[in-house]
Structure 1
Amino acid sequence: MRRRRSAPMIDCRSGTPIALGSRIPLASLIQTLAVAEHLNFRHAANALGVSLSSVSARVKTLEEDLGILLFERHARGVRLTEAGRHFVELVAAGVDQLDHAVKTASMAASGECGRLRIGVHALIPRSFLAGLIGRYRNEHPGIEIEMTESTAREAVMQLRADRLDIVFVAGSPELPDCHSRRIWTEPLVAALPEQHPFANRNAVTWADLAGETFLARHGGTGPQVHDHIVLRLAGRWPASSIQRFDVERGTLLSMVGQGFGITIVSAATSLQPTSGVVFLPFADEPEPVAFSAVWSPFSQGTALRNLLELANKMGRTIAAPE
């Protein structure tokens, strides 16, 4: 006897048919897959921990809704019809994808997988920031890290445009539309060529450097370096000049080594020895340079929260001996 296909359900508001798949309970599909696996209703019910009547009723209702016979019943159990075999194969693939989606979403919610887009001013080996990101990657290997290097202004603009999740910048910015937190500090040092008259000193002062030619970058922390030099040398004589170049940090330091001028950098930069360059601390710099994390108030992911918590932990560890 041929089964009668159920009439399609109609959306009362639009008058359009509702897809059958949207109204099939997931439990019916799971129980159908179990019957297909065990080829026995009772064994399927035992495996799922439900009653035999529940499995039998759900499979029967599903067959009636589809208008298709999925199983041929016999005394020892059941076997799949040809239509049932195709149906089960496709449903099994769909359920696997759904299970994967649920697990992936759960892992993303717990910070075990996902993506974190980080903006940095520089990533110097052995620096605090390099240590932070390295440790984070070790503790959260399922998180894909994307790095972008830019000026603080460009980084914040990308953050506001939702192209970055968090940025690390020099200073302690107060932005009305962003959250920020001071994470670590570094002393400021002067980078001088080895032939400089002050190269053998233990430290220098800003007054010592009046009249020098300073080098700064257009990118990275270059704009902030420029402004800091102007601030510290304002009113000093002889007047200094500041030359700006569109080069990478390593190239600028190489230019210092070749005698183009001098520059100022944070202490982390001095961890990378550069041929022909010496790094001297300032005796009269009032305080170390602060570095802060900035992120959008709309970013609430666990991956970001874990990074901030680790940054706080590492920052406290460094500050503790002082």
Structure 2
Amino acid sequence: MLGVRISMMSLIQMLAVAEYLNFSHAANSLGVTQSSVSTRIKALEENLGVLLFERRHRGVRLTEAGRRFVADVSAGIEQLDHAIRAIGAVADGKAGHLAIGVHGAIAFGFLADLRRRYRTTYPMIEQSIIEGPSSYILAMIRDGKLDVAFVFNVANVPDCHSHYLWSEPLVIALPIGHPLASLETVAWTDLAAENFLVRQGGAGPQIFDHIIKRVTERGRSPRFHRRDVGRDTLMHMIAAGDGITLTHEAGSHTPFPGIVFRSITDEVEQARFSAVWSPHNHSPALKNFIDLAIRLSRSARAGRDSFQ
């Protein structure tokens, strides 16, 4: 029996005969001749060594073996149909998995809106988030462990595709009891003598370089403490009075007890965020995600231009 090869057409015709219990009606439903159906069913029974139908003057009746075979074949074809539809959904980018790398807050702003819209449009795509320093998530892109990464102030990435998507103002995070916390806005001259806390991970290296640039422009020597901690822990340290830090606007929308965020009046640059992905990644889900991100980015810029 393991060596028996049965064509799909033989099974389809067998199911049609089982449904109509009549060779002529089954043939009409399939658009073939009655003789071809009869021939296929007879050959199928001979291959299986089992009688599937009892022939009668006005039609046929399933044998006990035929009923069992029809039930199992119907279930198998249903599973096959499900598998074909499922693989088709994956090929169209409508089902599957998307691994996203980040190194900052994702609850607010452009990325949060992008993920929300993508989930609405493609609800069968599972999104997973991995957080880490830029070097870490970019290495995972190259290794094929991530589909796309969102990086801070990185314009070009060797061996990868990248596309600038959005920017956010830089803001300063202060403990609520800090003298500058009572001001609506601050300037870099006010901040130059402060003690800065900077993460070693996440966007820490880029933040570190930017603070050095701004403080030295004001003729001061930067005061730094670099900490190998997560963002929440860093904010708790600031709330405790250990120092201040620089972050981007989306991060300021997450409330932290004992922390206030202030805009910087003389900060002329913004945090720029780009999507990065591998040119070797041909995932349809990734393509749909990047296409949506670019459309949202263009729409957001057009909205800002018209407002201005």
TM-score normalised to structure 1 length: 0.85
Shift of 1:20: 2.7
1:218 aligns with 2:200: yes
**Mean Cα deviation higher: 152-161 or 180-189:** 152-161
**SS of structure 2 residue aligned to 1:125:** coil
Shift of 1:237: 4.3
Q: In structure 2, which of residues 91, 101, 106 is the aligned counterpart of residue 109 of structure 1?
A: 91
Name the structure 1 match of 2:47. 65
* Contact 2:104 2:251 (8 Å CA) reproduced: no
1:162 aligns with 2:152: no
Q: In structure 1, which of residues 239, 256, 271 is the aligned counterpart of residue 253 of structure 2?
A: 271
* Contact 1:119 1:148 (8 Å CA) reproduced: yes
**Mean Cα deviation higher: 131-140 or 199-208:** 199-208
Residue identity over aligned pairs, in percent, reads 49
What is the alpha-carbon root mean square deviation over aligned residues?
Answer: 2.3
Name the structure 1 match of 2:131. 149
Q: In structure 1, which of residues 7, 17, 20 is the aligned counterpart of residue 4 of structure 2?
A: 20
1:35 aligns with 2:17: yes
Shift of 1:223: 2.7
* Contact 2:96 2:285 (8 Å CA) reproduced: yes
C-alpha separation between the residues in 2 aligned to 1:305 and 1:58?
45
**SS of structure 1 residue aligned to 2:15:** helix
TM-score normalised to structure 2 length: 0.89
| Structure 1: 5+ residue stretches without partners | 6-17
Name the structure 2 match of 1:249. 231
Distance 1:26 1:244, change over 3 A: same
Distance 1:193 1:179, change over 3 A: same
C-alpha separation between the residues in 1 aligned to 2:260 and 2:88?
51
* Contact 1:172 1:181 (8 Å CA) reproduced: no
Name the structure 2 match of 1:9. none
Partner deviation per Cα, 1:147-186 (whole Å, 9 max, x = no partner): 1112211111222222211111112342232211111111
Q: Which amino acid aligns with 2:284?
A: T
1:306 aligns with 2:288: yes
* Contact 1:71 1:78 (8 Å CA) reproduced: yes
C-alpha separation between the residues in 2 aligned to 1:281 and 1:209?
12
1:130 aligns with 2:130: no
**SS of structure 2 residue aligned to 1:286:** coil
Name the structure 2 match of 1:14. none
Distance 1:123 1:133, change over 3 A: farther
* Contact 1:180 1:294 (8 Å CA) reproduced: yes
Q: In structure 2, which of residues 61, 66, 69 is the aligned counterpart of residue 79 of structure 1?
A: 61
Partner deviation per Cα, 1:290-311 (whole Å, 9 max, x = no partner): 1011112122233222221221
| Structure 2: 5+ residue stretches without partners | none
Name the structure with the higher helix share.
2
* Contact 1:121 1:149 (8 Å CA) reproduced: yes
Pairs aligned (count): 304
